[in-house]
Structure 1
Amino acid sequence: MTSTTSGMTGGGPMGSSGPTFDPYDNTPELIPLRTAAQAGDWPAVRACFAGLGSVDRISSASSLLADIAGVEGFLERAAAESPADPLPRTLLAERYVYIGWDIRSGARAKDVSQDQFSQFHDWLRRAERLLIEVCAEQPSYAPAWTTRLTTARGLQLGQAEARRRYDRLSAHHPHHYRAQTQLLQQVCPKWGGSWEAAHGFARECATGAPDGSNSAAVVALAHIEHWLDLPSGEDAAYLRGVPVRDDLRFAAQVSVLHPDHRPDWNSVGAHSAFAFAFSLGGHHADAAPHFAFLGDRATEYPWQYLPDQRSAFLGFRKAALESRGGGAR
C-alpha cells in the first residue's frame, strides 16, 4: 500500500544513523493517535481526529491508523455505537483494505494465488459496503472517497469507475494529494491503464494545482512507476533522458521548490519522490535541494523499490551534496 507521510517545516539534521522511514519519527504529532489506537481507546482516537482540521491531515492519519494491527476490533465497536458518524466506518473500511492487501501482498497478479485473491476481495467488499453508505450520506467526505479509489483498484472496477470516484472527491476537495497518488496507481499499465494515461494525469495534477502545492510531485511518481516497469538497462536510460529531467525540473519548481510552498504532512513524500527520480537519473545537483529538505527523513514509497533503501538514500544524498559543493556529512 501506498501511504502518505509527513514533512516538518524544514530539513531535519543529517546524522550517521539516518535516514528514518518511520512516519511517526517524521510526524511526531501523530504519536498520541498511535498510542490511543494501540490501547483501543476510541474516545481518544476520535479526539485526535477532531483536532486535525484539514482533509489532507485526516487522510494521512487514517492511512497510518489502518496499518496498526488489531484496531479493527475497537473500530467495529465504535461504528456500531455511533452509526451516524462517518469517521469510525471510514477508518474501519480502510483497516479492512489494509488487511486484504496484506493477504494479497504486493506481488504482481500472476504471482498471487486464487485463495489470496478470494480473501483479498472479500475484505475489500466489506470495506466497500461501509464506504458506499458513508458516501451516500456524506457526498463530500474525502477520506471515504479516497479509500474507495483503493477498493476500486483492488476489485478491478475499471478505469472509468475509478475516475468517477476521483472526480466526485475532487469536486469538493481539488488537488487532494493522497487521492492523486492513489488514482495514479490505477491509471498505470499494471492496473489496466497506460503510460499515456499515467503521464497525462500527472501533468493534469501539476498544471491544475496552485503553485506551491504538492500535486506536481505526481509527475515524479509517474516517471518512477514507468522506470520500474522497464527492462534492466532501459530503466536507467529512461530517467537519464533530457525530456524526463526537464519534466521533473518543471514539476519541482512549481511545487515543493516554489516560493509559495508551505511544508505540510505530505512534503517528505513529495521531496522523496523528486530526490529518488533525480538521483536514479544521475541528476544529482537537481536532487540536492530535495535532500537538503529531507535531512534524515524519508518515506517508504518510493524508496521501497530499491533493494537496500537505506544505503541507496545515503549514497544518493552524498552524491547530491557533493554535486553542490556541500561535502558528505
Structure 2
Amino acid sequence: MSPTAPDLIRAEFDLCRQIPSLMDLRTAVRGNDWDTVEAYFDFLDDEEERAVAAHLVSDDLSSSERFLERAVADHGSPLARTLLAARYINVGWAIRSSYTAEHVSREQFQEFHAWLRRAERLLIGVCADEPAYALAWMYRLTTARGLELGASEVRRRYDRLAEHHPHHIQAQLLLLQQLCPKWGGRWEDTFGFARECMAAAPAGSHAGRLVAQAHLERWLDDSDDGPGDYLRATEVRDDILAAADRSVRHPGYRPGFHWVGDHNDFAGALSLGGHYREAAPYFRTLGDKATEYPWGYWGDQEVQFLKHRRRAMAKG
C-alpha cells in the first residue's frame, strides 16, 4: 500500500520509524553502550538534531535512567549529565501529569518539583563548565517553567542559548509555551515572539511552525467546552499558509530531524480549522507519520490523525 493512500488505517508515532538512523541510538541505550551513545551525539553537528536525539533517550526510553546515572558516575561528561537531567525532568513531569494546575495535587507538585530540582542542579553544573552547551540551556527552559521561576528567568535562559544558537527551534518552541496565557503570558507576546523568530531565521527554516503552534494554542484556549471556531477564520488560515510558505513550502527548506513535527503542526492547524484542501499537501508529505500533538488535544491521537488525514485527502 502506498503511504499516501486515502484508506491508510494506521498512524506511525514511533520516532525511530520516522527517522530510521535513531534506531542505532535506541539500540545503544538499551544495550547500556555509552561509547556508542556518545559517538552518535558527536556525529550530529546540528544542535536541533541533537535535541531530537536527546528527546528519544530521555522520553522514549523509560529504562534509560539507571544507565544514565552510571554514565554520569563513570564519565561525568556534559552530555551524560544533560541526558540524565532530561530524564529526571520527564520523570517529574509524568508525576505532575498534563492536567492544569487545579487538577494536580499538592503531593504531585512536591514530587514534580523535587525531580526538577535534581535536574536543575545537574544542568547548572553543565552550563558553568560549558556556557555555550545548547542542550543544557534548552532543558533549563523547561525546569524554569516547571519550577515557576517566571517568564523573565525563562527568557534570560533562552537569550543565553540564543547568543550561540540563534535559531534553535526546540528552544523556541519551549519559550513559546512559557509566553502563552496558560503559563502566565499574553497572546501579544506569544504571537510576537513567533513572528520575530520566523522573520529573523533564514527562509526555509523550521521557524514557521511557531506561528502554526501559536494559532493552535490560541484555538485550544478557546476550546474548553469542545473544539472552537478560532482556526476556521480566513485570516488565521492565511497567516498559517504564509508561515508555511516561509518554511516547509519554501525551496530552501531542509527537513532534518524536525520535518515530521513541522508538517504535523501545519496539517493540524489547517485541518482542525476545517481547511482540508489546504492541509492535504502536508498530510501527503507525512504519509503515516504522526506526532502526539496536536492530534492528542482532542481524544485519541491516532483516531484524530487518521480522521483529519482522510478528510483532507478526500478534498485535496
TM-score range for the pair, normalised by the shorter chain length: over 0.9
Alpha-carbon distance, 1:191 to partner: 0.9
The answer to whether residue 103 in structure 2 is matched with residue 119 in structure 1 is: no
The superposition leaves residues 104-152 of structure 1 with CA deviations (integer Å, 9 ceiling, x where unpaired) of: 1111110111111001101100110111111111111110010001001
Alpha-carbon distance, 1:309 to partner: 2.2
Equivalent pair of 2:296/2:304 in contact (CA under 8 Å): no
Alignment of 1:274-313 (within 5 A): 274-313=266-305
Alignment of 1:191-270 (within 5 A): 191-231=183-223, 235-270=227-262
1:180 aligned partner: 172
Alpha-carbon distance, 1:97 to partner: 0.3
Alpha-carbon distance, 1:44 to partner: 2.1
Equivalent pair of 2:134/2:165 in contact (CA under 8 Å): yes
Flag the 1:89–1:216 CA change in 2: closer, same or farther, 3 A: same
Alignment of 1:67-146 (within 5 A): 67=59, 68-83=61-76, 85-146=77-138
Flag the 1:228–1:81 CA change in 2: closer, same or farther, 3 A: same
Greater RCO (Cα-Cα under 8 Å, separation 6 or more): 1
Unaligned runs of 5+ in 2: none
The answer to whether residue 12 in structure 2 is matched with residue 29 in structure 1 is: no
1:18 counterpart SS class: coil
Alpha-carbon distance, 1:258 to partner: 0.5
Equivalent pair of 2:4/2:284 in contact (CA under 8 Å): no
1:265 counterpart SS class: helix
Q: Determine what percentage of the aligned residue pairs are the same residue.
A: 52
Q: TM-score, with normalisation over the residues of structure 1?
A: 0.91
The superposition leaves residues 199-247 of structure 1 with CA deviations (integer Å, 9 ceiling, x where unpaired) of: 1111112211111011110111111111111146795321011221111
Name the CA distance, whole Å, in 2 between partners of 1:261 and 1:158.
Answer: 34
1:156 aligned partner: 148
- 135-144 or 40-49: bigger deviation: 40-49
Equivalent pair of 2:19/2:257 in contact (CA under 8 Å): yes
Q: Cα RMSD over matched residues?
A: 1.6
Name the CA distance, whole Å, in 2 between partners of 1:240 and 1:75.
Answer: 46
Q: TM-score, with normalisation over the residues of structure 2?
A: 0.95
Unaligned runs of 5+ in 1: 1-10, 325-329
Equivalent pair of 1:18/1:297 in contact (CA under 8 Å): no
Name the CA distance, whole Å, in 2 between partners of 1:135 and 1:163.
Answer: 16
